[in-house]
């Protein structure tokens, strides 16, 4: 990709905070954030942290907070790790991202989980977001070199079971965002952004019966990316992390010895300030200031929208999904993700399949959306999961 690069601080920051500005500079398209939402979405730093990394949930409309536990619970709900059926598990996922806008952008994810004992488990994961190779030229067509902007996070998780059906989880995260190489000719020094964050999560499940069939109801919640704002330099703006509230339910039903179906439903809400409406002089005429402390931003995110409660409801996204397993070896999945048009406008159908052989699980997901309306159209995800040691046999 070649970008015309006027050497000003404001332009440099905007270029590298979203793919949309890079695409706009290349005269392709505009208004697309790195997570696929449009310019109407709430602005945060490092939005890649809320991109679904694995194929199972990616095929179920991005629902996963209450799904049956696996090693990718390190992302969705670390509290579930203590319920995994294997003592050790490893998963690797890969997804080409926004590929019809920029051909070499991708998200890679590696996660690991280990059961310490019947009540305690630990997990670790790394996410790497590659924004592709970029050639820079100034307005005089002089080369400014090339570089590969990237972002990554490293997580460590702990989960503990309380009783037979309830658990809590905690994750600590290191975040690094290197969206540019050294830039000369600016009025201030830009540098990679670093940050720390935490997730707190809860999981509850209850075995029972539904329509005379053995079933299990599950509820999960995860508040992720709680941490201080990040900045790309002393004089650059400070951006809130994409602190996010996930709430979800799931119902597993064993139709018979060979057939199982799971229905899941998640809701998500960013816990960041909604920008107020300002007059031409910058004075707030409706809403609340979006420059406040992180705790105030989190708790105030439920009541700070200029449009009141109706606008707050628009900031909630919905993820229904369904999964069917045959003989615990072959799976089919489908789901839908809905985000309000005035709050990002991500809307797409998801499909996928999974195959289990011995200790291996291979999962695939496909995002079906209109190429004219969604930059995420035809997105693929691939996941390979390995269970090294079986837990209790049924």
DSSP-derived letter for residue 273 is P
Instruction: Give the model's pLDDT for residue 11.
Output: 35
204 close to 250: Cβ distance less than 8 angstroms: no
Check the CA dihedral 64-224-45-307 and report its sign: positive
Instruction: Give the model's pLDDT for residue 182.
Output: 55
Each residue's pLDDT tens digit, 150-182: 999 999 999 999 999 999 999 999 999 988 655
Instruction: Give the model's pLDDT for residue 132.
Output: 82
C-alpha separations of 283 from 79, 97, 279, 280 in Å: 44, 39, 5, 7
Closest CA to 35 of 358, 337, 351: 337
**Which residues, 6 or more positions from 301, have their beta carbon under 8 angstroms from its beta carbon?**
269, 270, 271, 272, 273, 274
Q: How far apart are CA 86 and CA 394, in angstroms?
A: 12
Domain boundaries defined on the chain? 2-274+315-390
Instruction: Give the model's pLDDT for residue 39.
Output: 81
Instruction: Give the model's pLDDT for residue 376.
Output: 84
Helix (H) / strand (E) element for 316: namely strand 316-326
Instruction: Give the model's pLDDT for residue 136.
Output: 67
Superfamily of domain 2-274+315-390 in CATH is: monomeric porin ompg (2.40.160.40)
Q: How far apart are CA 168 and CA 164, in angstroms?
A: 12
The token duo for 30 is: 């505009």
361 close to 323: Cβ distance less than 8 angstroms: no
Angle subtended at Cα 136 by Cα 142 and Cα 36, rounded to the nearest 5 degrees: 155
Q: How far apart are CA 105 and CA 98, in angstroms?
A: 7
Each residue's pLDDT tens digit, 46-93: 999 999 999 999 999 999 999 999 999 999 999 999 999 889 999 999
Classified as helix, coil or strand, 185 is coil
Angle subtended at Cα 161 by Cα 216 and Cα 220, rounded to the nearest 5 degrees: 50
Instruction: Give the model's pLDDT for residue 19.
Output: 39
251 close to 263: Cβ distance less than 8 angstroms: yes
Q: Which residues of the chain have pLDDT under 50?
A: 1-30, 184-187, 391-394
Classified as helix, coil or strand, 388 is strand
**Placement of tokens 């590696």 in the chain:** 110
Instruction: Give the model's pLDDT for residue 189.
Output: 67
């Amino acid at each position: 990709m070649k970008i015309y690069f006027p050497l000003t601080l404001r332009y440099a920051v905007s270029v590298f905070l979203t793919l949309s500005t890079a695409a706009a500079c290349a005269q392709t398209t505009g208004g697309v954030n790195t997570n696929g939402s449009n310019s109407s979405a709430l602005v945060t730093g490092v939005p890649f942290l809320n991109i679904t990394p694995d194929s199972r949930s990616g095929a179920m409309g991005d629902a996963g907070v209450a799904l049956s536990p696996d090693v990718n619970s390190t992302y969705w709900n670390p509290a579930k790790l203590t319920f995994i059926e294997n003592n050790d598990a490893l998963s690797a996922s890969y997804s080409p991202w926004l590929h019809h806008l920029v051909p070499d952008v991708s998200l890679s994810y590696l996660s690991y989980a280990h059961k310490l004992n019947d009540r305690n488990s630990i997990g670790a994961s790394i996410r790497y977001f590659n924004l592709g190779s970029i050639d820079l030229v100034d307005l005089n067509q002089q080369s400014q070199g090339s570089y590969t902007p990237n972002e990554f996070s490293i997580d460590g998780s702990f989960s503990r079971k309380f009783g037979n059906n309830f658990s809590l989880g905690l994750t600590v995260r290191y975040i690094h965002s290197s969206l540019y190489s050294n830039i000369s000719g600016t009025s201030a020094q830009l540098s990679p952004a670093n940050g720390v964050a935490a997730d707190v999560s809860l999981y509850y499940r209850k075995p029972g019966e539904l329509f005379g069939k053995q079933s299990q109801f599950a509820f999960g919640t995860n508040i992720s990316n709680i941490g201080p704002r990040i900045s790309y330099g002393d004089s650059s703006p400070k951006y809130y992390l994409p602190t996010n509230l996930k709430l979800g339910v799931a119902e597993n039903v064993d139709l018979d010895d060979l057939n199982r179906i799971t229905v899941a439903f998640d809701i998500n809400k960013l816990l960041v300030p909604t920008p107020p409406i300002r007059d031409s002089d910058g004075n707030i005429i409706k809403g609340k200031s979006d420059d406040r402390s992180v705790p105030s931003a989190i708790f105030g995110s439920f009541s700070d929208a200029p449009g009141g409660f109706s606008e707050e409801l628009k900031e909630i996204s919905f993820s229904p999904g369904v999964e069917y397993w045959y003989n615990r070896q072959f799976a089919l999945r489908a789901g839908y993700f809905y985000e309000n048009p005035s709050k990002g406008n991500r809307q797409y159908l998801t499909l996928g399949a999974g195959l289990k052989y011995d200790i291996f699980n291979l999962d695939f997901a496909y995002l079906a959306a209109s190429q004219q309306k969604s930059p995420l159209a035809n997105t693929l995800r691939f996941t390979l999961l390995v269970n090294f040691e079986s837990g209790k046999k049924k």
